[in-house]
Structure 1
């Protein structure tokens, strides 16, 4: 009896030591495994960041290089003679500030109109049942899938000889040319057929489907009408998503060259200047202090691209909070 009593604590102690060793071993393996995958994850993110940022950093470095640095094979990333020559040349040869003002006006107008229209259309598709709802949603998705190049000629002819069901021809005897004005982009944004409108409608629809219907039902019980409920309840809680849609629309319209080259041949825009601003510059090398054959055209184009995306970076710095919240609540993350 005494032997059993004295043996039992010893066995329990041995069992506790063995359990502690195994627990320490597995915890050590767990932390080693966790550390390994954490390091691999950060290496992968650093590698992806390098692939994305490397071209931008090279462009930024080249934009400060003098013509002598560009033809010097020993100069790679750090300019030997840093200069503002490339920026001054770009601003002088592309009417940069005029293009900046025109691009901002068109992008802001398109972004505001698309934000409002896509919010209302997305709310209607998410909340109301009506005949043909499935067909309307299918057409919205098709605007995402069908490339705009397939109907480019139709759009060009429509706005070159604009008419509303033949009414203008009947009243005035002719059509109206809307090219080189803001009307084409305004009309396309209002009717929900603008650049990426289908995607914005889909995002807003998914967002509104995630809002509890009890909010609107409680407002209806209190006597609030449809439009008042939408304006007083739905819109205030959708600010982050609306700002996200505006940023997307503004950014895509800012760098768009498809609609810009089709509708605005006589209006200076940043995207058009980026494509055609330096044609024949090498033939005019003496004007800008170059010698024939100096590889400056690509550098000027890269410098212009940096000036084009600079306002977008500034916009993101001020609106990143709303952008992140909007993407998280959109329902289409990933």
Structure 2
């Protein structure tokens, strides 16, 4: 009888041990919570990798195509990895784009517009968020209207005004609106600042008013330094959109010697199309277009690589994710 009880106890301990191991394995695979298990993490990583590949695939295609020689481009079996790396197409794109000159022009123009919009749109956003302005709702409606209306509708009056002022073929028609909180996507930047300043506690301004600070001092000494997340988002958005924009430069700088990369890329694409119509398509035509596209976005990739942490933090704190 005692031996039978001992065997039952042993079987029970073994069964309990097996159950504990199975429970531990279950907790590892499924997790104690929904988002803690290995299965959920595996699914999440697969989803993130697939999403990343969708966005990175065009860049990989650009790099793969622009380093192929004529034989690899003509060989349908060569898809991603060429037999040898050929940099002649990249060099040709650098020369046709006048890359060094265009890079300097694009950088100066983008930094200037982004800096001006970062400051001027902050003033406008703070005014809409905190100050009393007669007919403020009406003016905010006009701001939203300027955001909705595409620039193609208002470009003709702007060209006429720039021509009358004698500032055509210069950067002033592009830079000057940024001084007054407008310009490319300026209305959106004002809305971002307004959203941020409305989320700040009013006690900060009340304490500054008790100390005798004016509205200008409250903004520049108290509120504007707090708007660092919104400043980062606005500066990066403005820089990227100005860098990529080819419409406004094509309107105001069409015969200027100072061509940004975006306009140079559009001119080069037109030239390649005209050459293809005259002498037939070249085997390197698509490669040159890929190379110019990569040269265009490469500085932005480097910029985002070093600023992504502050950019994500700024997007979260300004309410853009809501």
**What is the TM-score with the length of structure 1 in the denominator?**
0.81
Match among 170, 180, 187 for residue 176 of structure 2 = 187
Match among 260, 275, 299 for residue 266 of structure 2 = 275
Answer yes or no: is the 8 Å Cα contact 2:121–2:182 preserved in 1: no
Pairing of 1:232-311 with structure 2 (within 5 A):
232-265=221-254, 266=256, 267-281=258-272, 293-311=281-299
Shift in Å, 1:38 = 3.9
3-state secondary structure, aligned to 1:180: coil
Q: Which residue is equivalent to 1:165?
A: none
Shift in Å, 1:205 = 0.3
Match among 82, 87, 90 for residue 90 of structure 2 = 87
CA separation in 1, counterparts of 2:42 and 2:83?
37
CA separation in 2, counterparts of 1:217 and 1:47?
50
CA separation in 1, counterparts of 2:232 and 2:30?
43
Q: Which residue is equivalent to 2:68?
A: 65
Does 2:136 correspond to 1:133?
Answer: yes
CA separation in 1, counterparts of 2:156 and 2:275?
35
3-state secondary structure, aligned to 1:235: helix
CA separation in 2, counterparts of 1:294 and 1:149?
34
Q: Which residue is equivalent to 2:317?
A: 329
CA separation in 2, counterparts of 1:66 and 1:200?
45
Q: Which residue is equivalent to 2:52?
A: 49
CA separation in 1, counterparts of 2:68 and 2:207?
64
3-state secondary structure, aligned to 1:277: helix
Does 2:187 correspond to 1:203?
Answer: no
Answer yes or no: is the 8 Å Cα contact 2:229–2:318 preserved in 1: no
CA separation in 2, counterparts of 1:261 and 1:39?
48
3-state secondary structure, aligned to 2:187: helix
Q: Which moved more, 1:108-117 or 1:147-156?
A: 147-156
Name the CA shift for 1:120/1:282 in 2 (closer, same or farther; >3 Å): closer
1:211-239 Cα shifts (integer Å, max 9, x gaps): 11101111111222222222222122212
CA separation in 2, counterparts of 1:278 and 1:130?
48
CA separation in 2, counterparts of 1:192 and 1:115?
8
Shift in Å, 1:143 = 1.7
Answer yes or no: is the 8 Å Cα contact 1:144–1:199 preserved in 2: yes
Q: Which moved more, 1:54-63 or 1:43-52?
A: 43-52
Q: Which residue is equivalent to 1:3?
A: none
Shift in Å, 1:318 = 2.5
